[in-house]
A and B are shown apart, each in its own frame.
Chain A
């Protein structure tokens, strides 16, 4: 399988990439690690005629402490998250979740910015960033803006990013209080059938593959904040979700998984 023909340009900087996005319009796509885009292009699910390679922008590859949060460059690869001492100390959930993405070869290529921009509700890291209450920094022709992760995802493979915007950084609050991630799947290296991320003892709970975007389990979060037991809160985990149906699971089974995994995650996070 070979993708349809396209032209390829290496971006010299984020500014250059954004300028090229402006020139090419909807013909163009940014190429980061390529581990979502290249498969989609092989299947002709995406047929951009211009690829702008941002994967070589090493200055967008970093993980550093800033006051109260951790700033991560968009081109930081999953493997770098997985082995980061900064994350191990100050955001162990992100490190742990990164190590669960695909397999080592996938993690050598895939980037944090790429997985967020791809906005697949079945992906692990977007849900983790959402549970943590992270922020996405996007750069466009008029500078940068900060987007709360709760505002970022809009639908299957869709986000609020404009055509000429690029994710340059992701910020997550520093903290290692009560966290857990439950990924339920049946095959090695697979996406989650359902996943649950719990941050900060349960003040942030998000669900993987329970709708068209990664979503917060708001009812469960509120019940917990109001003093409900873990079991009672977890029973509300699937409320207001619209789980997809596929070969792996129907909606009812996914809702069941969401409740069970939320209970396990909350118990582990508070254990």
Chain B
């Protein structure tokens, strides 16, 4: 079946089997392997991407459901970070990516793309969250390494910076 979707700002038209999951389409079809697969069963959030600006678990969305939609993956985040065109050095990281670096919000990094995408979506909907709200907002994303504290600090630092 023909599907066409905007991924990180460019349009991709492909022929997919209806049962293809969005995460497989992104990784195997489009070569965007930044989005990870963890549990493959809607629980861990490693596969989180944005669909029309909202976080979704791409292992639980069919590629055909994303037909005509606007998808952003972790690869697309850095490019869109600065509307004023200012740069932070080698790579124009998104503030959330920078905050994850600064706060040591990752260890093995497996959960990180999903964690970052979920955090960006969360802050968009809750610009001034309390720490408890951040923890609840990220409850769909599991990290087996960090103990979560530094992830929460990273999100707090971006929220504080934005206000």
Contacts and interface: CB of A to CB of B under 8 A. Distances in A.
Contacts of B61: 34, 38, 109
A109 B60 contact: yes
A42 B41 contact: yes
Q: How large is the interface on B (under 10, 10 to 19, 20 to 34, 35 or more residues)?
A: 20 to 34
B139 A103 contact: yes
A51 B57 CA distance: 20
Given A8-B62, A34-B65, A55-B65, A104 B55 contact: yes
A104 B60 contact: no
Nearest to B57: A105
A79 interface: yes
Nearest to B1: A8
Given A55-B65, A104-B125, A5 B17 contact: yes
B60 A39 contact: yes
Interface stretch (B42-50, B76-84, B101-109, B150-158): B42-50
Interface in B35-82: 40-43, 45, 48, 51, 54-57, 60-62, 64-65
Interface in A161-193: 188-189
A145 B19 CA distance: 33
B21 A188 contact: no
A108 interface: yes
Interface string A237-270: 0000000000000000000000000000000000
A115 B55 CA distance: 20
Given A2-B19, A5-B19, A104-B137, A189 B43 contact: yes
B122 interface: yes
A35 interface: yes
Contacts of A104: 55, 118, 121-122, 125, 137, 140
A105 B118 contact: yes
Contacts of B55: 104-105, 108
A211 interface: no
Contacts, number: 80
A109 B62 CA distance: 12
Contact of A8 (B42, B64, B122, B125): B64
B65 A2 contact: no
Interface residues of A, number: 29
Nearest to B122: A104
A157 interface: no
A189 B64 contact: no
A247 B117 CA distance: 32
Contacts of B51: 108
Max chain B C-beta neighbours (<10 A), residue from A34, A83, A103, A189: A103
A108 B42 contact: no
Contacts of A188: 139-140
Given A3-B19, A104-B118, A109-B60, A39 B41 contact: yes
A164 to B, nearest CB: 22
Nearest to A82: B125
Nearest to B43: A189
Given A5-B17, A6-B18, A103-B140, A34 B121 contact: no
B56 A7 contact: no
A35 B141 CA distance: 16
A112 to B, nearest CB: 17
Interface of A: 1-8, 31, 34-35, 38-39, 41-42, 51, 53, 55, 79, 83, 102-106, 108-109, 188-189
Which 5 residue pairs across A and B have the least CB separation, nearest first? A103-B140, A8-B18, A188-B139, A108-B54, A105-B55
24 contacts: A1-B40, A1-B41, A2-B19, A2-B21, A5-B17, A7-B18, A8-B62, A34-B60, A35-B42, A38-B42, A38-B61, A38-B62, A39-B41, A39-B60, A41-B19, A53-B65, A55-B65, A79-B54, A104-B140, A105-B45, A105-B48, A109-B56, A109-B61, A189-B140
